[in-house]
Amino acid sequence: MPANNSELPDLSPAVPPRWGELLGPEHRGAAVVLAAGVLVGAVNIYLASSMLPTAVAELGGESFYAWNMTLYLVAMVIATMLVSRCLVRWGSAGAYLIGFALFLVGSLACAASPTMPVLLVGRCLQGLGAGLLSGLGFAVIRSALPRRLWTRGNALMSAMYGVGNFAGPALGGLFAQFGSWRLAFVLMAGVAAGCGVAVPRVLPRGERGGAVAPVPVVAMTLAMAATAAVSVAGILPGTMARAAGIAVALLLAAGFLAHERRSARRVFPAATYRAGSALKWVYLTLGLLSFGVSVESFVPLFGQRLAGLPPLAAGFFGAAVSLGWSLTQIGSSSAVREHTVRRLRTTGPVLLALGFLVQGLLQRENASIGWFIIWVPVLCLAGSGIGLAYPHLSVAAMASAADPEEGRQAAAAIATVTTMSTAFGTAVAGVLVGLGGGSMLGSARWLLFGFAVLCALGIVTARAADRQVPC
C-alpha cells in the first residue's frame, strides 16, 4: 500500500490459515512468548487492586492506596511509546528481555516490599515492563510471524487483554483470601523469568539497526500527564471533581495531539496526521472499543447490589464483557474476504453499543436469578463486538505504512491507544456512576446508557476508516 493512501489494504490470504498453523511447531514458541507478554501486563492491571486491601492491612500506607493503579498505568503508557525505539536499538529478542527483566524485578520488589512506597516503586517497574511487553506483542508480529498469520496473531494478542481482565481480579482475590498476596507477585515473577529464558530461542533478533529516533519528550510528558489526570479523576470524591479531572485530562490530550501534528518527534506515525489517512480513524475505533471494557470496573458492584450475588460470583459476572471479547476473536480472525473484514470492523462497535443499551434496559432492583441469567449473555454480546473488530483493526494499523520503521511504530501504538482508553474509560465510568446519586439502579443505567452512546461513536469512526479518500 502506498504510504499516502487512506485505503485499508486487504493483506489476508484467500483461504484463512488454521489456528494450528499459528500454534504449530514452527511458530508456537514465538506466539506463546508474545501472548504471555501481553497477558502479564493485562493481568496485573487489576491483580494488585484485588489484593491491595489485604496489603494495606499489613503494610499501612492507606493514603497511597489510589496511586497503585495510577502509577502502573502511567508507566505502561510511557513504555508503550518507547517500543519502536527499543526495537531499533536492541532488536526483538533484546527488547523482550528488557521488558521481562523490568517486570520480574518489579514483581519481586512488590513481593518483598516492607512499606507501601516500596510497593508503589515495584508497581512502576512492573508497569514499565508490562507496557513494553504489550507494545512489543503487536510490533514484533511483523517480524516473528508471516503476513498470512498477522490476523490470527493480533487476535491472540488482543484476546490476552480480555483474559487478563477476567483472570486478574479472580487471581488477586484468591491470593488475598488466603492472605498470600506476596505469593501472587512471586508467581508473576516466575512467569516473567520463564518467558525470558525462552526469548532467545523463539524470537528473531531482527528489527535492529538504523538510527534511533530522538525520544519525543514533550509528547510523552503530555500523554503521561493526561493519563495521570484521568486516573486521579477516577478516584476523586464527588461527580464535579471527577468531571473536572476528566476535563483537565482532555485538555492535556488535546495538547498532546496538537504538538504531535506539528512536531518531528512523534509517538504515533506520521500517517496518523496525514490528510485523508485512515489510520487516525483506525486508532479512534480501537480506542472506543477498549473504552467500553471499562464498564467491568462497576458491573460486579451492580451484581452484588441489584441481584444479591456473592462477591466471587459478581466478580466473574463482571468479566462477561472480556469473556465475549476473547471467545469471539476465535471465529472473527478466520475472516479473510475484504468485504467481510470491513463489515466486521463496522459491526463491532454496533454490537458493543447495543449490548450496553439492552443491558441498561434490563436493570432491575432486587433482580431475580432469571434476570441475572439474561444479563450475562447480553454483556457477552457487548464484548463480542470488540472481538469482531479488534484483530482486523489491529492488522489495518500494522499495514498502514510501507516503511518498516513507521510500521513498527504504528503497531506499537495499538497498545498505547488501548492503555490510555482503558484509563479514560474507568474515570468516565466513575463520573457516570456518580450521577445516579444514592440509587444503585440509577447509577447502573447512567453508566450503561452513557457508554452505549459513547461507544456508538465507534460506528462513525469505523465507517470513516473504511472510506476510501485519496490524499
pLDDT tens digits along 73-121? 888 888 988 888 888 888 888 999 999 999 999 999 999 999 989 999 9
Q: Give the per-residue pLDDT at 15.
A: 62
- Record the pTM: 0.81
Label residue 210 left, alpha or beta by phi (over 0 means left) and psi (-120 to 50 means alpha).
left
The answer on pLDDT for 243 being more than 50 is yes
Nearest partner of 340 among 298, 378, 303, 391, judged by Cα: 391
* Whole-number pLDDT of residue 311: 67
Q: Averaging pLDDT over each range in 264-268, 281-285, 330-334, 403-407, which range is the top one?
A: 281-285
pLDDT of residue 413: 87
Q: DSSP 3-state assignment of 252?
A: helix
> Across residues 9-14, what is the average pLDDT?
48
Q: pLDDT tens across 127-171, in order?
A: 999 999 988 888 888 777 888 888 888 888 878 877 887 787 778
Q: What's the sign of the alpha-carbon dihedral 222, 242, 110, 292?
A: negative
Of 226-230, 283-287, 290-294, which range is least confident?
A: 226-230
pLDDT over 80 at 263, yes or no:
yes
pLDDT at 208: 54
What pLDDT, on a 0 to 100 scale, did the predictor assign at position 149?
A: 83
- Percent pLDDT > 90 in the chain is 29
34-38, 133-137, 398-402: segment of lowest average pLDDT? 398-402
Sign of CA dihedral 423, 425, 427, 429: negative
Domain ranges for the chain, please list them. Answer: 19-466
pLDDT of residue 470: 40
Q: Which residue has the cell 466471587?
A: 312
- The answer to whether 352 and 170 are in contact (CB under 8 A) is no
C-alpha 281: how far from its chain's center?
17
**Rounded to whole angstroms, how far apart are CA atoms 416 and 136?**
11
Indicate the Cα dihedral angle 77, 154, 347, 254, nearest 10°. Answer: 20
- In the chain the first and final C-alpha atoms are separated, in Å, by 13
Candidate from 200-209, 315-324, 418-427 with smallest mean pLDDT? 200-209
DSSP assignments along 372-416, one per residue: HHHHHHHHHHHHHHHHHHHHHHHHHHHTS-SSHHHHHHHHHHHHH
Average pLDDT, rounded, for the chain: 84
Residue listed under C-alpha cell 496473531: 153
pLDDT band at 5 (very low <50, low <70, confident <90, very high): very low
What pLDDT shows up at residue 471? 36
24/374: higher pLDDT? 374
Spatial CA neighbour of 333 closest among 11, 18, 31: 18
Residue 11's pLDDT band, with cuts at 50, 70 and 90, is: very low
Rounded (10°) angle between helices 440-466 and 279-292: 160
Q: Which residue has the cell 489491529?
A: 394
d(CA 186, CA 198) in angstroms, rounded, equals 19
Task: State the architecture of 19-466 in CATH terms.
Answer: Up-down Bundle (1.20)
